[in-house]
Structure 1
Amino acid sequence: MKGSRALLKMLEDRGVGTIFGYPGGTVIPIYNEMLDSSIRHVLVRHEQCAAHMADGYSRASGKTGVCLATSGPGTTNLVTGVGTAFADSVPMMVLTGQVATGNLGMGAFQEVDAFSLMMPVTKYNYRVLDLDLLPGVISEGWKVTRLGRPGPVHVDLPVDAMNSQIDESLLTRTREPRPVQIDTSGIPTAIRWIKEAKRPIILAGGGIIGSDSSEDMVRLAERIGAGVLTPLMGMGSIPYDHPLAMGALGMHGRRSALSAMKEADLIIAAGTKFSDRTYSPHTRPGNGSRVIHIDLDSTEFNKHGLTSVNIKADVGDVLRTFLCNLEGFTPDPAWMMRLNSFKSKCCCDFDYDGVPIKPQKVMHEINKLIDDDTIVTTDVGQNQMWAMHCLNIKRPRQMISSGGFGTMGFGLPSAIGAKAACPDKKVLTVTGDGGLLMVVQELATAIQEDLPVTICLMNNGWLGMVRQWQKLFWSKRYSATKLYDSNPDFVKLAEAFGANGIRIERSSEIGDALKRSMNSGETCLIDIHIDPEEDVLPMLPPDPAIPMVKGRCPY
């Protein structure tokens, strides 16, 4: 069997139904076999977006996403998207073409050292110089994407290997990755600390969603009376309207979450990494606080400077162990009342009318339409923080966003990937004019591949988040952030790609436009002109010497 056919056969056998990619010289053998494969190929318009679509596909479905690009610039274009998935622990198999083995290191056309290039942004790298090793590579690499802390695995495929023949009997050959070493020795101490705590909270990160442990986490919170704080990546791990849900914690998070964090005497950090956007001198609790940190990646431990016990294990397994050892536990009613007071005070009405349109009003209208069959993706910047702060997310995998890497341009392609994974769900992306212009060509992908999404464009004519920092911390010296005098007519641009376009300049028009678009079954861009002076507040400044910028927040 030809190597290119063998590759696709092994992916088919592992349940791969979709590959996001862009063809080129060294992957033509693979694309030739794709015509006879059961795998659907989604043709992107830029390789970075192939990775973002595979990422969105994975986050929406829980499956391993697959992307494919040719050698040289095709591979370098993938790197940003692969890095995005790596930062957020998303399982992905990244396939790249490579020049023939005899030309490696010779400066051949479109040659790049993909192996070294991908090393910082993947869990593991393979270069298949001997085709007979390909079955073991796919077998092991596929498992590595989900083993321990999930993430991307890269396989570099020289074109001569793909054109060579392999004995079909070798395709079932397997290779096992090295098992992840776990350390649960801290569990007895952790259980004792939980029993001693008077003011526990759970910091529920993306690891809760990635391990499908949301139900166990909520059960633990209910049993011990812990408020649940969600960094960006943990949104949806607990329904927003649950009495113990304190909301998002971070630079642009909820005051209820901040209050609970500051008063906690025990933090159960589950699948989260204490990033600088979540944990800072502004959010640090008192020195008497303890941390129980559960994670499969020990490099995330001890970043907080508090007394801690670390448990290196699957977060779901540990939560279930806690539950078994806390039967009959009675929460402290005083802390439950305190949490309720935080939540009741942090209950803003975002239904602002008037012109120019306030971004909170857009989120208010989106909230009316979010149901169990809705997925929301975001871009990066102010639009992302408005979504994190304001949207009512009820279930895991309902909100998809670039966290650790903060990749502008993520919104639209991740939405297309989510739609490919969940074709029966309505998919909406919240984006800004800066981020959308980085990837707007993917409207062609959405149209050609019949993957309809709604694009909620928060158009303020600026690179809004950078402008906000320049406004608040750099004496309003606005450098290289103005877009309004050169932005295209986004409605005409959408129509040029074959999508629908709607321009919104009055708040009364937002709800109907969103509803019509999301129910239309067609790709639609809603160009909403919002107030550029409305900052994402409250905000915890990066300098701990500067107090919180409250803005409209009445808390």
Structure 2
Amino acid sequence: MTAGGLFLRDHQTTLGADALIQCLRDAGVTCIFSLSGNQIMPVYDAILDSGIRLVHVRHEAAAVYMAEAWAQLTGQIGVALVTAGAGFGNALGALISARASETPVLLLSGDSPRGQDGMGAFQEMDQVAMARPITKFATRASTADQLPGELAQAIATAHSGRPGPVHLALPVDVLTSPLEGPATFDATPDVQDLRQSDAEGILAFMNTAQRPLVLVGPAMARTRTGGALAQLESALNAPVICMESPRGLRDPSLGALIDLTRNADRILLLGKSADFTTGFLGKDMGAPDARFAIIAPEEAELARARARIGNRLDVAAQADALPALRRIVSCATHAPDRAAWLAEAKQALALRADLPADTATHLHPIQVGAAIEAQLARAPGSVLICDGGEFGQWMQAIRHDGPRVINGVSGAIGAGPAYAIAASIACPDVPVIAAMGDGTAGFLLAEYETAAREGARFTAVIGNDNLWNAEHQIQIREFGADRTHGCTLSSQARYDLSASALGGFGVYVDANDPAALQGALDQAQASGLPACVNVRIVPAPAPVVQGKSAASEATH
């Protein structure tokens, strides 16, 4: 050990940490979200002169959530860097969201030295075994010379097939060891293109339909694929619908989607899992004589569909969703005229729940959503973040043509402040509005300090009903209104004051007055700070859109 410390060196030798950062830069990484710790300080040193931005957070889960939102908004891989032990453990839960949202996230974690394996080293644990069930790929770096190749494999895997999170553990002695040879790095992902014969089979399948639907998964959301879905819809003359909510066919942002799925005669699942969100391909999916086709990157997903619908599955093709879409568009010629069906689909998807007729002491979530919708419309390209249970579902119903990041299929809540910070850094020239419930807000409220320190600018609108309302509604629905307990939150909680104390701006809206809320939103936007609008709302169950199916069910 030198007088300057364990890691003091001449910076002429390329160490494992240097190679790691050089390779990340070669992969297009421009921002890393991190919480510091002993084993990763060599990486911090390597970042210093790299040109990569380091965003230092207050909780490891926030780093992963920020990486998730960053990836969705920029197209880059999102990178989270955490330390070993509890730091790594804190980050794991957030990977579940990235896996469900099909987002390429790289979790880098410090690790105990390989040279001390089996000796009871500080924070020694089998990180790979812990990460493997919730990632596409997890490994532990072997040597400094092998680190670039292992990193390349991780990044390529995150982007290939169905995108998702990967994990690379970084033993500290690998980070501090010199490379003996030049680093070789190629993170080009494998691509499974759609075979020409399969593309022709899909087109033949679609062309025989009168009421076809195409359902795509979260990785194909408009925020991530630009105009690709519109191109496919135009090429097929068929509605193309992205599903990214745990409410599946009853996603409030998709209106009366279930009316369409129950009436469709041909359904193509393009990268969309045949899981609970599609009703397991049961009675709500397709008319009685409906036929199906599926394109998925995994054989296991094709097998799942076969097991569910058997001989009703006409085409099953293994390919990556976006390349398959492009191949279908390029091969499409003259799709049948389905103007009436397209119009019916547009009308059904545009339906929203109605504002209850009875008056209340506080604003209803619909009114909060309307105010946010008006605010977003003022600035094209604004980013909308939605997070939370019942309130979050109301907010997902906001009509918004710009980028959107939601808490996704996993059903996890709490990422909202982290998503908003990443969105502000990724999209600094447009407003960012994050709508979240008061239960959600409590998870990462301390990240307001991160936002103020990093110059992130956003407005968080907290729908405050003093409840864990999703669970409260379950108690009412399943056990009775007289059996509700344990799900209340403090009526004295002032999230706006907390945001102000952490360096942001806060305003409180306690009146049943939409104009007061609009004024508060204007103040928040004008503040130039990470802002919190804490608005009291009435507790409301998640929205139910009154389409044809809902009306029919209500009469039986």
**Residue of structure 2 equivalent to 1:153:** 166
1:59 is paired with a residue of what secondary structure? helix
**Residue of structure 1 equivalent to 2:279:** 279
Q: Is 1:294 aligned with 2:295?
A: yes
CA contact (8 A) 1:351 1:360 kept: no
Aligned counterparts of 1:513 and 1:198: Cα–Cα separation in 2 = 49
Aligned counterparts of 1:383 and 1:231: Cα–Cα separation in 2 = 19
Cα distance change, pair 257–207 in 1 and its aligned pair in 2 (3 A) = same
**Residue of structure 2 equivalent to 1:50:** 63
Aligned counterparts of 1:211 and 1:146: Cα–Cα separation in 2 = 16
1:478 to 478, 484, 488: 484
Aligned counterparts of 1:380 and 1:165: Cα–Cα separation in 2 = 46
2:125 to 112, 121, 126: 112
**Deviation of 1:179 (Å):** 6.4
**Residue of structure 1 equivalent to 2:367:** 361
Cα distance change, pair 293–102 in 1 and its aligned pair in 2 (3 A) = same
**Residue of structure 1 equivalent to 2:518:** 511
**AA matched with 1:260:** L
**Deviation of 1:48 (Å):** 0.8
Matches within 5 A, 1:92-107: 92-107=105-120
Cα distance change, pair 216–501 in 1 and its aligned pair in 2 (3 A) = closer
**Deviation of 1:188 (Å):** 3.2
**Residue of structure 1 equivalent to 2:243:** 231
1:170 is paired with a residue of what secondary structure? coil
**Residue of structure 1 equivalent to 2:92:** 79
**Deviation of 1:102 (Å):** 2.2
Cα distance change, pair 435–508 in 1 and its aligned pair in 2 (3 A) = same
**Residue of structure 2 equivalent to 1:256:** 256
Q: Is 1:445 aligned with 2:450?
A: yes
CA offsets per residue over residues 425-455 of structure 1, 9 Å max, x none? Answer: 2111111111111111111110111112211
CA offsets per residue over residues 271-330 of structure 1, 9 Å max, x none? Answer: 322442443657333331122222223333344537222222132333333334442323
CA contact (8 A) 1:205 1:233 kept: no
Gaps of 5+ in 1: 235-246, 541-546
**AA matched with 1:291:** F
**Residue of structure 2 equivalent to 1:323:** 329
Cα distance change, pair 195–445 in 1 and its aligned pair in 2 (3 A) = same
Cα distance change, pair 140–277 in 1 and its aligned pair in 2 (3 A) = closer
1:512 is paired with a residue of what secondary structure? helix
Cα distance change, pair 15–213 in 1 and its aligned pair in 2 (3 A) = closer
Identity percentage over the alignment? 26
Cα distance change, pair 323–65 in 1 and its aligned pair in 2 (3 A) = closer
Greater mean alpha carbon deviation, residues 43-52 or residues 304-313: 304-313
**AA matched with 2:216:** A
Matches within 5 A, 1:164-175: 164-167=177-180, 169-174=181-186
Greater mean alpha carbon deviation, residues 506-515 or residues 69-78: 506-515
Matches within 5 A, 1:344-493: 346=351, 355-370=361-376, 371-388=379-396, 390-395=397-402, 398-476=403-481, 477-485=483-491, 488-493=493-498
Cα distance change, pair 392–298 in 1 and its aligned pair in 2 (3 A) = farther
Q: Is 1:524 aligned with 2:531?
A: yes
CA contact (8 A) 1:88 1:404 kept: yes
CA contact (8 A) 1:45 1:442 kept: yes
**Deviation of 1:351 (Å):** 10
**Residue of structure 2 equivalent to 1:16:** 29
CA contact (8 A) 2:509 2:516 kept: yes
CA offsets per residue over residues 201-245 of structure 1, 9 Å max, x none? Answer: 2223223238954534323323443234332369xxxxxxxxxxx
CA offsets per residue over residues 150-172 of structure 1, 9 Å max, x none? Answer: 112211111111111114x5223
**AA matched with 1:39:** I
2:227 is paired with a residue of what secondary structure? helix
Aligned counterparts of 1:339 and 1:211: Cα–Cα separation in 2 = 21
**Deviation of 1:144 (Å):** 1.8
**Deviation of 1:512 (Å):** 2.0
Normalising by structure 2, what TM-score? 0.87
**AA matched with 1:387:** M
CA contact (8 A) 1:249 1:278 kept: yes
CA contact (8 A) 1:58 1:65 kept: yes
Cα distance change, pair 289–26 in 1 and its aligned pair in 2 (3 A) = same
Gaps of 5+ in 2: 1-13
Cα distance change, pair 367–132 in 1 and its aligned pair in 2 (3 A) = same
**AA matched with 2:136:** K
Aligned counterparts of 1:406 and 1:16: Cα–Cα separation in 2 = 28
**Residue of structure 2 equivalent to 1:215:** 227
1:84 is paired with a residue of what secondary structure? helix
**Residue of structure 2 equivalent to 1:314:** 320
CA offsets per residue over residues 516-539 of structure 1, 9 Å max, x none? Answer: 32343211100010001x222317
**AA matched with 1:267:** I
2:201 to 185, 189, 196: 189
CA contact (8 A) 1:58 1:64 kept: yes
Aligned counterparts of 1:315 and 1:174: Cα–Cα separation in 2 = 23
2:217 to 199, 202, 205: 205
**Residue of structure 1 equivalent to 2:6:** none
Aligned counterparts of 1:333 and 1:382: Cα–Cα separation in 2 = 35
**Residue of structure 1 equivalent to 2:148:** 135
Aligned counterparts of 2:232 and 2:24: Cα–Cα separation in 1 = 38
CA contact (8 A) 1:223 1:331 kept: no
Greater mean alpha carbon deviation, residues 247-256 or residues 303-312: 247-256
2:279 is paired with a residue of what secondary structure? coil
**Deviation of 1:23 (Å):** 1.1
CA offsets per residue over residues 18-55 of structure 1, 9 Å max, x none? Answer: 11111111112222333333111111001011101111
Aligned counterparts of 2:190 and 2:322: Cα–Cα separation in 1 = 21
CA contact (8 A) 1:56 1:400 kept: yes
Q: How many residues align?
A: 528
Aligned counterparts of 1:407 and 1:207: Cα–Cα separation in 2 = 18
**AA matched with 2:241:** L
Cα distance change, pair 252–260 in 1 and its aligned pair in 2 (3 A) = same
Aligned counterparts of 2:213 and 2:287: Cα–Cα separation in 1 = 14
Greater mean alpha carbon deviation, residues 173-182 or residues 297-306: 173-182
Aligned counterparts of 1:12 and 1:102: Cα–Cα separation in 2 = 28
Cα distance change, pair 323–101 in 1 and its aligned pair in 2 (3 A) = closer
CA contact (8 A) 1:212 1:316 kept: no
Aligned counterparts of 2:349 and 2:494: Cα–Cα separation in 1 = 42
**Deviation of 1:6 (Å):** 2.0
Aligned counterparts of 1:51 and 1:338: Cα–Cα separation in 2 = 40
**AA matched with 2:291:** R
Q: Aligned Cα RMSD in Å?
A: 3.0
**Residue of structure 2 equivalent to 1:240:** none
Cα distance change, pair 442–549 in 1 and its aligned pair in 2 (3 A) = farther
**Residue of structure 1 equivalent to 2:4:** none
CA offsets per residue over residues 378-422 of structure 1, 9 Å max, x none? Answer: 22311221122x211214xx1111223222211111111122222
CA offsets per residue over residues 442-482 of structure 1, 9 Å max, x none? Answer: 11110111112211101110001111121122213223211
Aligned counterparts of 2:137 and 2:411: Cα–Cα separation in 1 = 22
CA offsets per residue over residues 335-379 of structure 1, 9 Å max, x none? Answer: 3454466467x3566598863110000101111122432111122
**AA matched with 1:315:** A
1:164 is paired with a residue of what secondary structure? coil
Aligned counterparts of 2:225 and 2:404: Cα–Cα separation in 1 = 16
Aligned counterparts of 1:254 and 1:178: Cα–Cα separation in 2 = 33
2:446 is paired with a residue of what secondary structure? helix
